[in-house]
Structure formats: C-alpha cells, structure tokens
Amino acid sequence: MDKYLTIMVTVLVATQVIRITQNAVQLHRQKKDIERNLEWFKEREVTKEDFDCQREVMYLLRKKLRGDRK
C-alpha cells in the first residue's frame, strides 16, 4: 500500500512541477510581449484625442452589437 501511495504522491508532485514550469514560461513570454508593447508606446505620442476616439468607437461598437436597443 505504501508503494502505491508513494507513486501517487510522486506523480502529483511531478505534475505540479510541470504546471509551475509551464506557468513560468508563459509569464516570461507575456512579460516580453508587454515590454515590446510598452516600447511601441514610448516611440509614439499618445494624445487625449486618441483616447477620445477610442472611447467613441467602443461606444458605437457596443451600441451596434446590442442592436440599438437603448
């Protein structure tokens, strides 16, 4: 019985180590992607007009997707 318990615990620990490794790799990739996007913003000037335009587009898109119910 102890053999099976040891095997089960070993398998569970191994799967958790694999998951932690996968999450670390995914977080590393996300960090690189975020840094690349931030670099893009550093190279460009974002204005209040850009945000206003984006807000208006989102409002119109939401209105369109809802079927003009409001």
Average pLDDT for the chain:
91
Global pTM reads: 0.54
CA distance linking residue 32 with residue 16, whole number of Å: 24
63, 70 in Cβ contact below 8 A?
A: yes
pLDDT tens sequence across 11-32: 999 999 999 999 999 999 999 9
| Contacts for 70 with CB less than 8 Å, ≥ 6 apart | 63
* Residues 14-36 as b or e (16 or more Cβ within 10 Å = b): eeeeeeeeeeeeeeeeeeeeeee
Determine the pLDDT at residue 70: 53
CA distance linking residue 65 with residue 59, whole number of Å: 10
